[in-house]
A and B are shown apart, each in its own frame.
Chain A
Amino acid sequence: MTTFDYAPALESRTIVTIDPQYGHFINGSFTKGSNHFASINPSDETVLSHVALGSAQDIDTAVDAARVAYESVWSKLSGKERGKYLYRIARILQERAREFAVLESLDNGKPIRESRDVDVPLAAAHFFYHAGWADKLDYAGMGNSPRPHGVAGQIIPWNFPILMLSWKIAPALAAGNTVVLKPAETTSLTALLFAQVCQQAELPAGVVNIVTGDGSTGAALVDHPGIDKIAFTGSTEVGKAIARAIAPTKKKATLELGGKAANIVFEDAPIDETVEGIVNGIFFNQGHVCCAGSRLLLQEDVADEVLSKLKVRVAKIRVGNPLDKNTDLGAINSSEQLLKIRELSKSGDDEGAERWSPPCTVPEKGFWFPPTIFTGITQAHRIAREEIFGPVLSVLTFRTPQEAIEKANNTPYGLSAGIWSEKGSRILWAAQQLKAGVIWANTFNKFDPASPFGGYKESGWGREGGRHGLTAYLKDAESNNE
């Protein structure tokens, strides 16, 4: 038999220049920063750079800069002019797309195919989309002349660094806010590259400030009295802590938190595309996706067929160097996250679930976890309830559509859900019954700046994207400074 092994097809990393050390981006220029820590490449554990650990003092300086920029420049600028800055940023992101993609894959560990085809183009699209809103805020559904909140404090996760940055910064700026953004501890580099984009776009100093650091930096940002609005994407646990922290204040918040999405396969599903959708649902971005389809619910009479096709398909997933253009599954973002995935997977073993992974060799250095499927799972298993945030799929079965919905909704989360069926009325029925903010029917893990994203219940507050997302950065003209 002929074998067709793909030779390594590495994307060149020479397009990227990484400084040995970075400070913060405050008031239009880079500071020296202090208490630098290493930012590593999760695929081989080499040190990429050193980034500064933002202190409360750094946050204070950044918030002051954002406040001054808000009051003296940004709030005085017409929507039309703000929009033109955003268009500029969108264009520069497109021009430097490959550079961003390579840097993202180096820093995050995600396959270049995804950073190149998903993260970076979508990031540019978010700026482009919101640029158009900046001079049309009267039509955002908030009445005439809605106003920005002021200074937004934004904290983003490590799973989609530049994309989450764009989800946060683009609507904030379009609405007329200025921002202080803190990237995730392990993935600061594309945010710092974005700072250069702001400089190239000649964005007024202080409109965007980026302070790198860890949880303590984030907490300082949340607690800062000069912040009017918090936007956070991350774990439900931290989201709740933020909700408590701002309880005594007038601060507004949007929170995009965890999920444990059910991906429901009915007997009449288009099987091959369903298998693709299941794979895309849980193995996209190493499963580091809050809306990942991590609970597969199979109708019993197609369960065996789907499962056997799924295993054949999963065996074809190419795990390896994120910069290889043929890699499907890259590195786990950090040793800490790898530990968590291992721990939760072990609980699956301990609770009697059956673990399956295809034969696959992973590099020796770096943080890796093979694509994994657990069968024999019930709602009572930990891995059917807790967010693993890794390439681990839990498979459950159901007998009737009602049972599928009950199981799907039986979670404190409510971010997303998937439906696979060729029957239109059943899809609409299921979509109506599911308690989730994003429902993908016969598709999964699709994102668009025009499409609101966000969850029910403990998956968070508010939406991002579309008109719904924009309004989170606005208040109506009559409302007091609440």
Chain B
Amino acid sequence: MNERLKVKKTYKLFIGGAFPRSESGRTYEVKGSDGGFIANACMASRKDLKDAVVAARSAQSTWASATAYNRGQILYRIAEMLEGRSEQFVKEISASEGISELKAEREVLAAIDRWVWYAGWSDKLAVLAGSTNPVSGPYYNFTIPEAMGVVGAIATEKNSLLGLVDAIAPIIVSGNTCIVLASGTAPLSAMTFAEVLATSDLPHGVCNILTGSKEELAPWFASHMDINGLDISGVDEPSLVSDIKTAGAQNLKRIHSFSKVQDPKRILAFMEAKTIWHPIGV
């Protein structure tokens, strides 16, 4: 019997719309739940993070200045692509997380639905978090929420795809760009997700995905002066949380951790309120 040899995928990083290997040349073995080898994932370095921040920064103003309607459509388009690949995600998650395909399917479908939920927020944020303020004087005064800039995220370990969606969608839907460190133990669906992004209409650099060690990279996320905000929902270790917040103080990074999922506060946490005054006169 001449069984056909499977062509396996090389898992790389996703930075600025491209799929580079880690500049460090390092990889780590991703094992299945049975302990067997699945793939070598890139062990991203702080320099990969640095490159990702540059990509995210250069993409940010264009992404933020796209209309909210346009961003919503681009995000919805990503959901369409995810749906088309759902079988692949189910297989990967099932294999790497050791759960049944049925359970994996539930996670994948939930992730797609959640992505759609976030996509719809793009043109409703201003009405949720904006206001017209009745100041005492002849001024028109209004407050609008605005994307903060470049935001990092450390995704949760459990539910690798859902965790990734919870990290990325709320950050980018408002016009931020992001660098997300995917689940260290189950990074493969993250890279497949990157392939979805690469073939969608999302501008290069809006979302950058790294795989590697949280313990190694989180402090670099925290101290990077060109990252404005950081979602550390994936960091549970109290001393690491404290270290991240301490390092983040250097540029007064907005650092948040969320327990609730599917919550607009996850979006608003990485937005700034801008208040504008103008006189009213003839």
Judged by CB atoms under 8 Å, the answer to whether A and B touch is: yes
Q: Which residue of B lies closest to A469 (CB)?
A: B273
Residue B62 lies at the interface, judged by CB distance under 8 Å to chain A: no
Task: Please give me the 6 A-B residue pairs with the lowest Cβ-Cβ distance, nearest first.
Answer: A247-B245, A243-B249, A448-B135, A248-B242, A247-B246, A450-B133
- The residues in B between 255 and 270 inclusive whose CB is less than 8 angstroms from any CB of A are 259-260
Write the A427-470 contact mask toward B (1 if CB under 8 angstroms, else 0): 10001100111111111001010111110111011010011100
When distances are taken between beta carbons in the complex, the residues of chain B under 8 Å from A176 are: none
Asked if A438 contacts B131 (CB within 8 A), the reply is: no
Cβ of A257 under 8 Å from chain B = yes
| In the complex, chain B residues whose CB is within 8 Å of the CB of A248 | 238, 242, 245-246
Q: Is A240 in contact with B252, judged by CB distance below 8 angstroms?
A: yes
Instruction: Enumerate B226-276 residues with CB–CB distance to A below 8 Å.
Output: 228, 238, 242-246, 248-252, 254, 259-260, 272-276
Residues of B within 8 A of A (CB): 65, 128-129, 131, 133-137, 139, 141, 143, 148-149, 228, 238, 242-246, 248-252, 254, 259-260, 272-279
Q: When the two chains form their complex, are residues A448 and B276 in contact, meaning their CB atoms are under 8 A apart?
A: no
Min CB distance, B250 to chain A, in Å?
7
Flag whether A423 is at the interface (Cβ < 8 A). no
B contact patch SS: mixed
- Do the beta carbons of A454 and B277 come within 8 Å of each other? no
A466 touches B278 (CB 8 A): no
**A412 contacts partner chain B, Cβ-Cβ < 8 Å:** yes
23 A-B pairs within 8 Å (CB atoms) are namely A236-B252, A243-B249, A244-B249, A248-B246, A431-B274, A437-B274, A438-B277, A439-B275, A441-B277, A442-B278, A443-B139, A446-B139, A450-B133, A450-B135, A451-B133, A451-B141, A452-B131, A452-B143, A457-B228, A466-B133, A466-B143, A468-B273, A482-B259
CA distance A247 to B244 in the complex (A): 8
**Residues in chain B near residue A458, CB distance under 8 A:** 251-252
Please name all residues of chain A whose beta carbon is closer than 8 Å to the beta carbon of B274 when the two chains form the complex: 431, 436-439
Number of A-B contacts (CB under 8 A): 111
CA separation between A437 and B65, bound complex, in Å?
Answer: 18
- Please, how many angstroms separate the alpha-carbon atoms of A454 and B146 in the complex? 13
Chain A interface residue number, banded: 35 or more
With beta carbons under 8 angstroms apart, the residue of B141, B228, B254, B273 that contacts A448 is B141
List residues of chain B with CB within 8 A of the CB of A19: none
Give 16 A-B pairs besides A414-B272, A451-B143 with Cβ atoms closer than 8 angstroms. A141-B128, A241-B249, A247-B249, A248-B245, A248-B246, A255-B252, A432-B65, A439-B274, A439-B277, A442-B278, A448-B135, A451-B133, A451-B275, A452-B275, A461-B254, A478-B260
Least Cβ–Cβ distance between B144 and chain A, in angstroms = 9
Q: Nearest B residue to A241 by beta-carbon distance?
A: B249
| B249 engages A446 (CB within 8 Å) | no
- Beta-carbon nearest neighbor of B142 in chain A: A451
B136 touches A125 (CB 8 A): yes
A467 interface neighbour in B131, B242, B251, B259, Cβ under 8 Å: B131
CB distance from B140 to the nearest CB of A (A): 9
Selected contact of A437 from candidates B228, B245, B260, B272, CB within 8 Å: B272
- Contact partners of B243 in chain A: CB under 8 A: 247
A residues near B (Cβ < 8 Å) are 125, 141, 236, 239-241, 243-244, 246-248, 255, 257, 412, 414, 427, 431-432, 435-443, 446, 448, 450-454, 456-458, 460-461, 463, 466-468, 478-480, 482
* Shortest Cβ distance from A467 into B: residue: B131
Partner of B275, one of A239, A240, A437, A443: A437
CA distance A211 to B273 in the complex (A): 32
CA distance A482 to B259 in the complex (A): 10
Report which of A236, A446, A460, A466 forms a contact with B277, defined as CB distance below 8 A. Answer: A446
Which residues of A have CB within 8 Å of B148? Answer: 456
> Which residues of chain A have C-beta atoms less than 8 A from B238's C-beta?
248
Q: Is the CB of B246 within 8 A of A244?
A: yes
